[in-house]
A = this chain, B = another copy of it.
Amino acid sequence: MKQIESIKEFGGWLNRYQHDSACCDCTMTFSVYLPPRAATEKVPVVYWLSGLTCTDNNVRTKAGAQRYASELGIALVMPDTSPRGEGVADEPDRYDLGMGAGFYVNATEQPWVRHYLMYDYVTRELPALIEAELPVVAGLKSITGHSMGGHGALVCALREPGAYRSVSAFAPICHPSVCGWGQGCFGAYLGENRESWKAYDTVELIRSGVAKIPLLIDQGTGDEFLADQLHHQDLQAVCQEKDFPLTLRMQDGYDHSYHFIATFIGEHLAYHAQALSR
């Protein structure tokens, strides 16, 4: 991997890297914040998965997360939301399919299957690269994200028992099989057999009886996508049915933006830091 940018922030370094991804069969860009502690010892990692339309740049610019990561001594890894570049399948007129909308699944359908293996990318290829190249403790990681990335974080943690010490999400797409964004992407990437969708759907995974891991979720009551896309009630219902540990905090008046994330990212990172210290 090649470092293409390095900016000092809160005593640590906000770096950007590029590498040739085998999963995505293209050059992938990601950012990593290394806290001051990483200069002298290996640190744990929190993975941040971003939402529709984002690159690695949104969260590093808008969330205010680096301040807390610096204080807590954890690295932040911020991948892109899809493969990109010449020759990568896309729907240029849509923000919610193709580039910027990988949905953290392994596509099985044409024309997406060649590049859109984002699930393997974020759970396997990227952590292996990070652990080989950067001062982080191998295997000591947690995961969080926003909206499509909140969905991604929950799915990764539910499908990979033991891989993540903790998981949280901001305004996640809880039940993608029943919302417009999820149906559009799953139909394209995974095909019309809805059975195949269940492996990437938080509500369906919990319904299927996956191993328990506590879920911490913040959701704004003023979120403009709450009613149509996020379906937190479906998650509440299945968690109650399965006695699955869910902490869903409805945050009065907050919207879907990074201003909402900025408000609560400190609590999420402290939660992960505690899980990563045990």
Q: Which residues of A contact B (CB under 8 A)?
A: 7-11, 14, 61-62, 64, 66-67, 220, 222, 253-255, 257-260, 262-263, 266
Q: Which residues of B contact A259 (CB under 8 A)?
A: 7-9, 14, 66
Are A8 and B254 neighbours in the complex by a CB distance under 8 Å? yes
Residues of B within 8 A of A14 (CB): 259
Q: Identify whether the interface residues of A are mostly helix, strand, loop, or mixed.
A: mixed
Instruction: Report whether B257 and A10 are in contact in the complex, using a CB–CB cutoff of 8 Å.
Output: no
Docked complex Cα distance between A266 and B67 (Å): 10
Known: A62-B62, A67-B263. 6 other contacts (CB 8 A): A7-B255, A7-B259, A8-B255, A9-B263, A64-B64, A64-B262
Contact residues in B for A7 (Cβ distance below 8 Å): 255, 257, 259
Taking the closest CB of chain B, its distance from the CB of A236, in whole angstroms, is: 22
Q: Are A222 and B8 in contact (CB under 8 A)?
A: yes
CA distance A257 to B7 in the complex (A): 9
| Contact assessment for B64 and A61 in the assembled complex, using a CB-CB cutoff below 8 Å | no
Q: Cβ of A220: which chain B residues have Cβ within 8 Å of it? A: 8
CA distance A9 to B8 in the complex (A): 26
- Choose from B10, B62, B67, B255 the contact partner of A61 (Cβ within 8 Å): B62
Q: Which residues of B contact A263 (CB under 8 A)?
A: 8-11, 67
- Tell which of A10, A259, A262 has the most Cβ of chain B within 10 Å: A259
Contacting residues, chain B, for A61 (C-beta < 8 A): 61-62, 258
Known: A259-B14, A262-B67. A8 touches B253 (CB 8 A): yes
Residue of B whose beta carbon sits closest to that of A61: B62
Q: How far is the CB of A197 from chain B (nearest CB, A)?
A: 33
Q: Give 7 closest A-B pairs by Cβ, nearest first.
A: A64-B64, A9-B259, A8-B253, A7-B259, A8-B254, A10-B263, A61-B62
Residue in B closest to A63 when the chains form the complex, CB atoms: B64
Show 26 residue pairs from A and B whose CB-CB distance is below 8 angstroms, ordered by the A residue: A7-B255, A7-B257, A7-B259, A8-B220, A8-B222, A8-B253, A8-B254, A8-B255, A8-B259, A8-B263, A9-B259, A9-B260, A9-B262, A9-B263, A10-B262, A10-B263, A14-B259, A61-B61, A61-B258, A62-B62, A64-B64, A64-B262, A66-B259, A67-B262, A67-B263, A67-B266
With the chains together, A61 CA to B259 CA distance in Å? 8
A67 — which chain B residues lie within 8 A by C-beta? 64, 262-263, 266
Q: How far is the CA of A259 from the CA of B7 in the complex (A)?
A: 7
Greatest chain B CB density within 10 A among A254, A255, A263 is at A263
Q: Taking the nearest CB of chain B, how far is it from the CB of A90, in angstroms?
A: 27
A15 to chain B, nearest CB (A): 12
Chain B residues with CB under 8 Å of A254's CB are 8
